[in-house]
Structure 1
């Protein structure tokens, strides 16, 4: 298991009207930046297994806690968490370090932001590595509206939007239990329970499956959310329909070379038409659930480093 003491010390950096808590490593590799974007409900610490491997491979690693997370700013307005602001934080971070562009790596919500960044600011992205969440096609209806039709009002994306504040309060009251129950692998498939699944998870005493990290590692996530609360991070979900409108103006095709890593046991479906929207994509499946880079750190590192090497050759 990873020793939390080995993680880089953070710096607070002012960008785009907020402060981001940034964990940086490999400054000796300046000129070869790679930016790591975590998902929900996570923390830059989710990349603890990747950072040393990337530094050793010659990368300047920049891993922010994005707005709403950790000690980064948590603006009060919901609209401060739309894709324009989230991608603007990343371009401003590149400006801070003096980089024209970088390779961006995203997991879960971080992947959504990286796809969006490539659509809104293509000139700032030279390569994309995304885990768990494939490119999301912009369909006929705004995303929350479509999800509500297909999955109902209790689906957590919908619930976060239709009942603001309800889930936030439950997670805040049960931070430790919620995160302990969420960060699991080998969870047996079971029929859906009535109610909102994430709230049920925060309240249940019994954690299913196996933990993906040690108690010391989990404590990093728990203490961060006990300090910040969950509202800032959930506000990302409350902008999905707004993002759908913002992205209407962007060309939907992403031209950069891209690596898409799926967890075979993840509940997020693969996107069969991925190569139509991301023509230069290479897809890999690993035998794991949703928390890919934490469940299979060595395999993830091998896949990422091999793909990055191949990009240098071609």
Structure 2
């Protein structure tokens, strides 16, 4: 079930961009505010299971459509997607809603955003939860060919080969939409191991999308018919050039330069309570990498690590498990 459209607001932040965001006021002062930041997907609607669950428990909710998604401004300039600038935008939304601090929850591409909020505006972050992609201190200068070689030597296959297609191929948005069933069934795989051969390796995603109807992967059986319809029709209506620009910001080293310029060295290590949840069937955002990251840059005494028998999209695939586990963590803060 989609989130209530009547609970959305729009805010023009100081940079001039519009943010469309879901908001629900905490029922009582003892209940904290939760800020949900999505990654690739159907914008704030990706959090529908978590929003419904925690709102019914009385928590305050802020769930924005990130730039390039949903009802927020479409951005095709990677310079405008610097994490420091997006973090500033998120803080402006909180200020507009008179929220002094909150617990942040990010998934996938939302995790680097809340990482930067925690680094630059620590007073705004009570605690932070990261799903699939962990807390990131700040990205190093990015050489995709070198990264892919290291990944293949270490794990036996490339993990980020799809970045080049999504970020650098001007036809990528059109190819994805023109072959949308194939694209959807790869993004949300029925067999998560298909990511090893069709997602991570260089050229594999584009080759699969252009291979014709006989090559289309099975529909994800872990979605109910209603859930698949919502996810499918919503994503199909998006201008994918906006979401794909986030990958360009990494490949063009916009994010690494931004991190080096905006984040002081003493902010790399996160002292806040941190939750990291990973999917045992995630073959791109590998748990081994995620655990090493949070153990290196987060306070071990305030760190909670949990696994989910799920793929990259645990908040959609096993939402009840994710909700209960997050609630246990919240109640223990």
**CA displacement, residues 31-56 of structure 1 (integer Å, 9 cap, x when unaligned):** 72111111113321111111122123
**Bigger mean CA offset, 84-93 vs 196-205:** 196-205
Conserved? CA contact 2:37–2:66, under 8 Å: yes
Q: Map of 1:55-66 to 2, 5 A cutoff?
A: 55-66=55-66
Q: Distance in 2 between matches of 1:153 and 1:276?
A: 21
Distance in 2 (CA, whole Å) between partners of 1:228 and 1:10 is: 18
Give the counterpart of 1:269 among 283, 286, 291: 286
Gapped regions of structure 1 (runs ≥ 5)? none
The equivalent residue for 2:329 is 307
Q: Does 1:71 align with 2:75?
A: no
Per mean C-alpha deviation after superposition, the further-off stretch among 289-298 and 271-280 is: 271-280
What is the CA distance between 1:277 and its match in structure 2?
0.3
TM-score (norm 2): 0.82
Taking structure 1 as reference, are residues 29 and 156 closer, same or farther at Cα in structure 2, changes over 3 Å only?
farther
In structure 1, the residue matched to 2:154 is none
What is the Cα-based RMSD across aligned positions, in Å?
Answer: 2.8
**Are 1:157 and 2:179 matched, yes or no?**
no
Change (3 A) 1:303 1:5: closer
SS at match of 2:126: strand
Alpha-carbon offset, residue 95 of structure 1: 1.0
More displaced stretch, 18-27 vs 186-195: 186-195
> Offset of 1:85 from its aligned partner?
2.3
Q: Secondary structure at the match of 1:48?
A: helix
- Where does residue 246 of structure 1 map in the other structure? 258
Q: Measure the CA separation in 2 of the matches of 1:141 and 1:231.
A: 24
Whole-angstrom CA distance in 2 between matches of 1:8 and 1:149: 48
- Counterparts of 1:1-314 in structure 2 under 5 Å? 3-4=1-2, 9-16=7-14, 17-29=16-28, 32-136=32-136, 138=138, 141-142=141-142, 144=144, 146-150=146-150, 155-161=161-167, 163-188=168-193, 192=197, 196-203=203-210, 205=213, 206-208=216-218, 210-240=220-250, 241-248=253-260, 249-250=263-264, 251-267=267-283, 268-270=285-287, 271=290, 272-279=292-299, 280-311=302-333
CA distance in 2, matches of 1:41, 1:199: 19
SS in 2 for 1:63: strand
Change (3 A) 1:102 1:145: farther
CA contact (8 A) 2:3 2:48 kept: no
Distance apart, 1:134 and its partner CA: 1.3
| Structure 2 CA distance for aligned equivalents of residues 294 and 140 of structure 1 | 30
Give the superposition deviation at 1:129: 0.8
Matches of 2:330 and 2:123, distance apart in 1: 19
CA distance in 2, matches of 1:212, 1:220: 14
Stretch deviating more after TM superposition (32-41 or 10-19): 10-19
Task: Quote the Cα distance in structure 2 between the aligned partners of 1:164 and 1:153.
Answer: 18
Which whole-Å CA distance do the structure 1 matches of 2:326 and 2:39 have between them? 18
Distance 1:247 1:227, change over 3 A: same
Structure 2: any 5+ residue segments left out of the alignment? 152-157
Q: What TM-score does the superposition give when structure 1 sets the normalisation length?
A: 0.86
Q: Distance in 1 between matches of 2:24 and 2:286?
A: 33
The Cα shift of 1:190 comes to 7.7
Aligned length: 308
CA contact (8 A) 1:181 1:202 kept: no
Q: What is the Cα deviation at residue 139 of structure 1? A: 6.5
CA shift for structure 1 position 140:
5.5
